[in-house]
Structure 1
Amino acid sequence: MPTILVTNDDGVQSPGLLALKQALEAIADVVVLAPERNWSASSHAKTMHKPLRVNPVTLADGSPAFASSGSPTDCVALAAGGVLGVQPDLVVSGVNNGHNLGIDITYSGTVACAMEATIKGIPGIAVSTAVPEEAAMADGEPFQVAALAAARVARAVLAHGLPPKTLLNVNVPALPWDRLRGIHITRMGSRHYPATELIAREDPWGRPYYWLGGSGPVDVADDGTDVGAVKHGYISITPITLDMTDYTFLAELTRWDLGVWDGNIRAEEVQRDGGRPG
């Protein structure tokens, strides 16, 4: 049996992690190493200047797991470094409480776990869903549905592998299994946050403080994108590459006539010429 590392950014006692662990046990030996607290929106944070601790914990179903004092990325790095005594064949991160669509992948600790796995040469999958606002699903059901979808994707990755520097970002609509319309292979969609997400307030001493993220995202549900697929009831699977080079812009950038840099040019000359050396 292959070994799958299950981790997340919502914390080791997250119901999404438990559902994912239980679903993946049907296809692999599963080990769990996740943060001891919630690290949502932590992106690819990595601990460099203080020691990390890994402690045994017990999940809600009575099964053993490990919790780290570090970030989601740290958990993957620790496991890849051998702290669990076994090398994972696959890392599956989630099930995150909230979709990771479009530009959100740059903030997501869930996706960062899959990125770290990919950097370490281990296939990585990030899995997310959302708890519906309406009481159309039983408590915990969105995570169980997403976990079943994740197991299907994980089985395929174990069979076929993934290209180097590539991970899969999976988003599952918050729908019962029998209402899912299928799977779409997608590209990243358009999601942004309005400027009103900044909320300024004052503490009792009159000093200003701020809240970020007060407003919900604005999505463009285009066909062929992760946003559009989830909006229309499809599971979205988006291949994400770590090579973020904008190849379509390379040729244009070379036409900017930036010139050959002369180390003798003074900074004031560059500023005087509008940033153009020479």
Structure 2
Amino acid sequence: MYILLTNDDGYQSEGLVALRAALNEVGETVVVAPDRNWSAAGHYRKLFDPLRAWDGTLADGSAAILCDGTPADCVALGVMGLLPRKPDLIVSGINLGSNLGTDLLYSGTVAAAMEGIMFEIPGIAVSQVRPKEGNWDFRAAQQAVIRLVGLATKHHLPAGVLLNLNAPARPPEEVYGMRIARLGRRFYRDELVVRHDPRGKPYYWIGGAEPEDYHEEGTDIAAIAAGYVSITPVHMDLTSHRWLEELREWGLE
């Protein structure tokens, strides 16, 4: 397999190094990663600015292609000609923090994998819950993504689907297994923080407490809370199919 790796935390992230170390065991990997952090950038594309790419290295010294675009730009640039051939799979991560439920609307990690779908390449987004203390331990996420890539290849994951994988902040021996889960709901407790520059003009930060999770049975949020790796299949169709029929009854057509 020829696997394109990227992320939204930037090329210096230890999560990207961990992802490459894992997937080097199952295929040939190439990295096209952003030159800075694009967390919460969503599916933003730099359509009105030139993109630049150059040879660089990751935090472990391994070779990579660096790009001044967004995570989605990195994938598009790689697929459209920067790489010598079309990748068989896009894998994005390992994100430094979870991407659960409503997070997917903001996540640059998931957007990078979703960009692959635009080019009919299946994708996997990999995220790791942030530990409350101590260093990052990516082993559970690494083991899960190796297994998932193998099964996705065996069962021919279609190009229109990406798999969103989240691993709990636990060592592998304390993870109970995997759960297939639907997206949950998170309530963001954002607050607008107003500051003033030396000239008295206001500027703004968006702060606030950690999101509040709804622990509904069968969701990715509940799976992570119970100590499982969660896997959620995601596709581009955002249509509310029930409301297609509801709207037809309104007499609009």
What does residue 250 of structure 2 align with? Answer: 256
Alignment correspondent of 1:192:
187
What does residue 82 of structure 1 align with? 81
Give me the whole-angstrom Cα distance separating, in 1, the residues matched to 2:4 and 2:193. Answer: 38
Amino acid at match of 1:150: V
Give the conservation status (yes or no) of the 8 Å contact 1:7–1:32: yes
Alignment of 1:151-230 (within 5 A): 151-194=146-189, 196-230=190-224
The offset of 1:164, in angstroms, is 4.2
**Whole-angstrom CA distance in 1 between matches of 2:182 and 2:114:** 17
Equivalent position of 1:140 in the other structure: 136
CA contact 2:93–2:126 (8 Å) conserved in 1: yes
- Match for residue 61 of structure 1? 60
1:245 has 2:239 as partner: yes
Q: In the alignment, is the contact (CA less than 8 A) between 2:11 and 2:59 conserved in 1?
A: no
Q: Check whether the contact 1:171–1:237 (CA below 8 A) recurs between aligned residues.
A: yes
TM-score (norm 1): 0.87
Measure, in 1, the Cα distance between the counterparts of 2:90 and 2:76.
11
Distance 1:256 1:199 in 2: 43
Q: CA deviation at 1:62?
A: 2.5
DSSP 3-state at the match of 1:74: helix
In 2, Cα distance between equivalents of 1:200 and 1:258: 45
> In the alignment, residue 75 of structure 2 is paired with which amino acid?
V
Q: 1:129-153: CA deviations, max 9, x gaps?
A: 1231133xxx332x23312211111
Q: For 2:150, what is the secondary structure of its paired residue?
A: helix
Structure 2 distance, partners of 1:12, 1:224, is 34
Deviation string 1:178-235 (CA, Å, 9 cap, x unpaired) is 00011000000011213x5222233333222221143211101111101100011010
**Residues 1:174 and 1:94: Cα distance change in structure 2 (over 3 Å):** same
Structure 1 partner of 2:93: 94
The residue type paired with residue 124 of structure 1 is: G
Residue type at the aligned position of 1:215? A
- Are 1:39 and 2:38 counterparts? yes
Residues of 1 paired with 2:216 and 2:42: CA distance? 25
TM-score, normalised relative to structure 2? 0.96
The one-letter code of the counterpart of 1:223 is: E
Ranges in structure 2 where 5+ consecutive residues have no aligned partner: none
8 Å CA contact retained: 1:183, 1:237? yes
Amino acid at match of 1:232: A
Alignment partner, residue 5 of structure 2: 6
Q: Tell me the alpha carbon deviations over residues 1-50 of structure 1, each in whole angstroms, 9 at most, x when there is no partner.
A: x1111100000111000000000000000101100110000000111112
Distance 1:55 1:34 in 2: 10
Residue identity in the other structure for 1:159: K
Using the alignment, how far apart are the partners of 2:26 and 2:228 within structure 1? 24
Checking the alignment, whether the CA contact within 8 Å between 1:165 and 1:243 is kept in structure 2 is no
What is the rounded CA distance, in whole Å, between the counterparts of 1:217 and 1:230 in structure 2?
15
Deviation at 1:257, TM superposition (A): 2.7
Moved more, 50-59 or 11-20: 50-59
Q: Secondary structure at 1:75's aligned position in 2?
A: helix
Contact 2:13 2:59 in 1 (8 A): no
| Percent identity over paired residues | 49
Secondary structure of 1:197 counterpart: strand
Greater per-residue strand proportion: 2
- In the alignment, the residues of structure 2 paired with residue 237 and residue 166 of structure 1 have an alpha-carbon distance, to the nearest angstrom, of 12
In structure 2, C-alpha distance between the alignment counterparts of 1:207 and 1:192, rounded to whole Å: 31
Q: After TM superposition, where is structure 1 displaced by more than 6 Å over at least 4 residues in a row?
A: none
